[in-house]
Amino acid sequence: MRRTIIFLVLLMLFGGRAIAADYPIQPVPFTAVDVGPGFWQSRMETNSRVTVPYCFERCEQTGRIRNFVAAANKDPEGFEGIFFNDSDVFKIVEGASYTLALKFDPKLDKYLDDLIAKFAAAQEPDGYLYTAKTSQSRGRYGQDPRWTGLDHSHELYNVGHMYEAAVAHFQATGKRNFLDLAVKNADLIDEVFGPEPGQRTDVPGHEEIEIGLVRLARATGEPKYLDLAKFFVDMRGNEDKREKLYGQYAQDHARVVSQSEAVGHAVRGGYFYAGVADVAAMTGESEYIDAIDRIWNDVVGRKLYLIGSVGQQGAGEGYAGAYKLTNLKAYNETCAAIALAMWNHRMFLLHGDAKYADVLERIVYNGFLSGVSLSGDQFFYPNPLECDMRFRFNQGDLQRSPWFNCSCCPSNVVRFLPSIPGYAYAVRDDDLYVNLFLAGKATADLASGSVELVQQTDYPWSGKIRMTVSPESTQRFGLRLRIPGWVRGEVLPSDLYRYEDVTPADWKLRVNGTPAHAPLVDGYAMLDRLWQPGDVVELDLPMPIRRVLANEQIEYDRGRVAFERGPLVYCIEGADHDGQVLDTWLADNTTLAPEHRPNLLGGITVLTGSANAVYRDEDGQSANREKPITMIPYYAWCHRGANEMAVWIPRSADRAVVAPLPTIASTSQASASHCGRSDTIEAVSDQMEPQHSGDHEIPRFTWWDHRGTSEWVQYDLAKPTTLSNVNVYWFDDTGRGQCRVPKSWKLLYRSGSEWKPVKMPSEFSTAKDQWAIVEFDPVKTDAVRIEVELQPTFSGGILEWRVN
């Protein structure tokens, strides 16, 4: 009923204009899905109760909202933060609008109206809205003319999120106050950009506006917004129509119809491919569909992590290449998981194959959900598959953070989580698809009439699903129930990973208590019948514990195994194993058993069994011992403090990590004049051998972003010790970053309260790619210090420092 009212309102407001084509399969909107008690209800309640107000509070504290006031007042000193922070506020408004649509809150409704009034004040008379430039801020892009530096300015990216938020707000409230601002801005961009003489042919560096424009076209029925989205798609990589392309990082190296693999920034790419799918669905451009089919196959076949995420450290938040799926330095940005989920959902709407929903489910339960804490106010930016307590993967931290300078991920979580029910069901004519299993009630409008479907399930802990199907009256239609790949013995629709035992599980289906025959087509059990109100469908999906092996071309996973149960990927965490898991290995004949623990981490099913661990005996030799093991769902890790974690576990002792013997350096307390936020002082003594001075595969210590300064790093020894030699391996990332070997350095030791230079030292080398070895007259001391002079305009650092 609610959707019907909104549709009639749209007709009155926009004169009945409509977009003729759309996806052949249409999602049942989240507003028609009432999530019941179970896994997702608690997460959605936390998002509404905690995450939405928390993120607005953070936006107030960090100036993101004040920036709109600064723009209204043309106040360059009032702007704070990054030039694309507008987008964070818009995404949170979108999430808050979903919250309002599900449950009206007058306080939140008024807060949004007040916030939208600030947006209106910041918008220039012709519709332009970009606070960094309107305020004439002193920061990057603030003083530049409009549409300058579009490859990185996010000028068009910001408003893409604004369009999505404005449509969500209008659909939730029926108010036009925000939608009018979006329409005014889109009309301006439609005047400025396009194929006509005098118009600009640039494209946004960071895609997103394409999705926003299509959504605006649907909401208003205005075809020109769809045309503009298609224009941006056509212009990307179009060297015949543009003077300068941005390159692979922005998927702007070739026209999309000529592309075959995913390259560049993973979030940009995910949004772009989703936008291409939208345009293809509404224009019928088959070449677009062929292109995103090819790119999807490349991702799923060569570049997707087991948790359903993409992106590696050191690859610019993007794709590093085929099979380059590191674990410790997996980037897997939370935003990239969300963009990938949006893209996969659209692929399903185009093709109707369960393989896309399989990937979507993998993302939702694993790669995405790990990005937000159970409490709703702590976040991961990257989501690695291993933690060694050395590499500070989360923007300089080892656990979830309350916020980031660039907080695109928390603000994306706010809007994506409440939209998940909208991915559960879809319709095509008289077919009703069930893609996600979640407790609650949904109403779907089929060609033959409305159908209410009630799900009862404890999914993902149990595969038993009971559905009560109630059409308005007796009617014939098809119920399409997804039988997940993990049931059918398939990790992914590719050979990137495989189950050790590929035997399909024996799933069962009953209708009104009677076993039902349902042919499996494109991953769906198909029930075509005459339905009566109150018919009951029971689907039993067995959840065996599956051992996962990776394609041998993924070198980081060779000789390792991972575990899944149902849609969940599992990991081992130090909190359950006295702080250590990287010493653990599992023999191939190891058996694990599921055990539900309702009081652990919000209620989870763990996997328990017996494993092995490597250690050093009294003689310092490597040895093995038996060790009990408890595995938890990957999404639930790091809720009990920072600790070691691993998804891929060695299958033999030689691949497990045996703790090195203690050294003078490793037992000392390291400190420094300054340490880079993304680095760690402990790296200087972690006993990891550098391969070269630019080695980004191991932890490092740097003085970043101090440049050309005098700095120091020191060891406070565990006890007074006689020293006569130090070895230093300098960090220098020439060609990649701004760290260089130092201009000069010296070595001091502490004598009483004084620091004294060592006597008769050998050369203080600053050579790259080798150990700088300094020998000196023996001294007995309780501390030793390196003092450096950094090169002018450059920083510097150390990969390893040994004392002997």
| Annotated active-site residue in 94, 317, 644, 787 | 317
Burial environment of residue 516 by CB neighbours within 10 A (0 to 12, 13 to 18, 19 or more): middle
Give residue 378's Cα distance to chain centre.
Answer: 14
Q: Which residues contact 11 (CB under 8 A, 6 or more apart)?
A: none
- Are 347 and 275 a contacting pair, CB within 8 Å? no
Q: Check if the beta carbon of residue 449 is closer than 8 Å to that of residue 427.
A: no
3-state secondary structure of 340: helix
Residue that has been written with the tokens 């025959």 in this structure: 517
Contact 212, 6 (CB under 8 A): no
Three-state DSSP class for 269?
helix
Cis before 654? omega within 30: no
Identity of the amino acid at 224: K
Task: State the Cα–Cα distance between residues 523 and 520, nearest whole angstrom.
Answer: 6
Nearest to 416 by CA among 37, 28, 52, 26: 52
- Identify any residues that bridge with 330 across adjacent strands, giving them in sequence order: 312
Q: Can you tell me the distance from the alpha carbon of 229 to that of 233, in angstroms, rounded to the nearest whole number?
A: 6
Residue pair 497/306 in contact (Cβ under 8 Å)? The answer is yes
Q: In the structure encoding, which two tokens stand for residue 635, read together?
A: 């999404």
d(CA 687, CA 672): 18
d(CA 37, CA 394): 32
CB proximity list for 539: less than 8 A, separation 6 or greater: 463, 464, 465, 466, 467, 481, 507, 508, 509, 525
- Looking at residue 627, its amino acid is K
Active site residue 317: yes
What is the β-pairing status of strands 475-482 and 431-434? parallel
Count H helices and E strands in the chain, helices first. 17, 31
- 3-state SS of 460-500? CCCCEEEEEEEECCCEEEEEEEECCHHHHCCCCCCCCEEEC
- Whose tokens are 């909208």? That residue is 422
Q: Is 638 known to be catalytic? A: no
In sign, the C-alpha dihedral spanning 484, 353, 23, 214 is positive
**CA 207 – CA 271 distance, rounded (Å):** 6
Tokens of 474: 């007796």
User: Of 387, 408, 409, 739, which residue is the catalytic one?
Assistant: 408
In one-letter notation, the amino acid at residue 94 is E
Q: Which residues are catalytic?
A: 317, 408
